[in-house]
Amino acid sequence: MDISARSASAASRGRTRRTQIAAGSIAICLTAALAACSSSGGSTASASGSGSSGAGSAVGVSLILKTLSNPYFVSMEKDAKTAAAKDNVTLTVAAGTKDGDTQTQISAIDNAISRGDKGILITTNGDAVNTALNQAKQAGLFVIALDTAPNPPSVADITYATDNEAAGKLDGQYAAAALGGKPAVIAMLDLFNNQVVSVDIQRDHGFLEGLGINPGSTTQNGQEAKTGRYSGGSYTIACHQPTQGAIDGGRTAMENCLSANPGINVVYGINEPAAEGAYAALKTAGKTGVQIYAIDGSCAGLKLVTSGEFQADAAQYPGKMAGLGVDSIAKLARGGSKPSVTNGKSFYDTGSALVATKAYSGLTIQSPDQAAPACWGN
């Protein structure tokens, strides 16, 4: 999931993101050259395909993103345009001027209704867009949320997203194996400490569950027992610190954690920027041999796995979310069936994979080279 705050600071470093909390793919996440589209009016691309989904007249679809300063969302635009060319879809792209810009998104929704588009793909900037999305549905448009379900989820007809808890669990399972029974002193670098965001909870809890630690709550972070046993040995939770999903936030969070417990040997990062900030703080402090885990799967992040800065990175696929969304609306507009959620889940799971350089028994990993064809950003 995109991490609300993955965001402005992810954009500022130009190569990663949510939180995330980050999506992400995606996720994130966090560059790629920004596509030429206006944040206020958007750009329109149309192409005719020859496949069965491209038969008949062009189908109008709007892709409405949080921003186009974040490589995570740029990858969505890229793959959506590829799918539009294949499916004979007239794709209109719009995006907020910054994270949280709901007014630009509302205008784009109104424009989609006026144009007679068949559907909307959206990464929402906030609940303020809900009324406009409900109006779009009443007008007959099919609404697909990408990366993050709206609040409430029923505002969209379906959500295409990463299973963030599953992604966190991949990292946690790998951490348990890599520790090899050694005591774990764990820093949890979350998204926020003053608000509850689903991606923040899901990734944090997934990481703990992967280690074999009970999170202690289904709705809050930091409720696990602070000492106990993980699946391979004893553990201590050194800290839960907010990072805002950003490099600077990750650095400050890690500094605070080291002040609380300088013996930290495992770091969970809500996303790649938070994990990068943690690495910088550890390096400054002269700490070596600390395992750092991230969730995103950007092309830049995979390089950090190769270099050893990250022990592992759980990859997500923001472009896949958008490409599948375009396909779904095109097929539905031409008489096909509505897309359905993944069995046992409330959304369509676009998948995740664990990227690492060292294999452990019982764990499925991809090497950075194997994961590279599906990474996002530069």
- 27: nearest Cα among 251, 363, 353, 311: 353
**Structural domain includes residue 225:** yes
- State residue 195's pLDDT score: 86
Count CA atoms within 13 Å of residue 148 on its CB side: 31
Model confidence at 173: pLDDT above 80: yes
* Structural domains in the chain (count): 1
* pLDDT tens digits, 64-77: 999 999 999 999 99
Contacts of 281 (CB under 8 A, 6+ apart): 250, 251, 252, 254, 255, 258
What number is the average pLDDT over the span 310-316? 98
Give the CATH number, domain containing residue 170.
Answer: 3.40.50.2300
Alpha-carbon distance of 274 to 361, in angstroms, equals 28
- 7: nearest Cα among 18, 227, 306: 18
- State residue 44's pLDDT score: 55
pLDDT band at 55 (very low <50, low <70, confident <90, very high): low
**Structural domain includes residue 224:** yes
- State residue 288's pLDDT score: 96
- State residue 7's pLDDT score: 42
pLDDT above 90: percentage of residues in the chain = 83
Residue 15: strand, helix, or coil = coil
- State residue 263's pLDDT score: 98
pLDDT band at 196 (very low <50, low <70, confident <90, very high): confident
Model confidence at 48: pLDDT above 90: no
pLDDT band at 378 (very low <50, low <70, confident <90, very high): confident
2 with 228: CB under 8 angstroms? no
**Structural domain includes residue 355:** yes
- State residue 42's pLDDT score: 52
* pLDDT tens digits, 203-252: 999 999 999 999 999 999 999 999 999 999 999 999 999 999 999 999 99
* DSSP string across 155-169: GSSEEEE--HHHHHH
Alpha-carbon distance of 149 to 144, in angstroms, equals 9
- State residue 18's pLDDT score: 36
**Structural domain includes residue 289:** yes
What burial letters (b/e) apply to 157-180, b meaning 16+ CB within 10 Å? bbbbbbbbbbbbbbbbbbbbbbbe
* pLDDT tens digits, 93-145: 999 999 899 999 999 999 999 999 999 999 999 999 999 999 999 999 999 99
- State residue 43's pLDDT score: 54
**Structural domain includes residue 65:** no
Alpha carbon 207 to chain centroid, angstroms: 15
**Structural domain includes residue 107:** no
Residue 271: strand, helix, or coil = coil
Cis peptide before 26 (omega within 30 of 0): yes
* pLDDT tens digits, 148-158: 999 999 999 99
State which residues form the domain around 295.
164-319+351-374
pLDDT band at 17 (very low <50, low <70, confident <90, very high): very low
**Structural domain includes residue 60:** no
**Structural domain includes residue 305:** yes
- State residue 281's pLDDT score: 98
Burial class (CB in 10 A: 0-12, 13-18, 19+), 367: middle
Angle among Cα 211, 266, 360 to the nearest 5 degrees reads 55
> How do strand 43-46 and strand 89-95 relate by DSSP bridges?
antiparallel
* pLDDT tens digits, 259-297: 999 999 999 999 999 999 999 999 999 999 999 999 999
pLDDT band at 5 (very low <50, low <70, confident <90, very high): very low
Mean pLDDT of the chain: 88
Cα Rg, the chain, nearest whole Å:
20
Question: 10-24, 327-341, 349-363: lowest mean pLDDT where?
Answer: 10-24
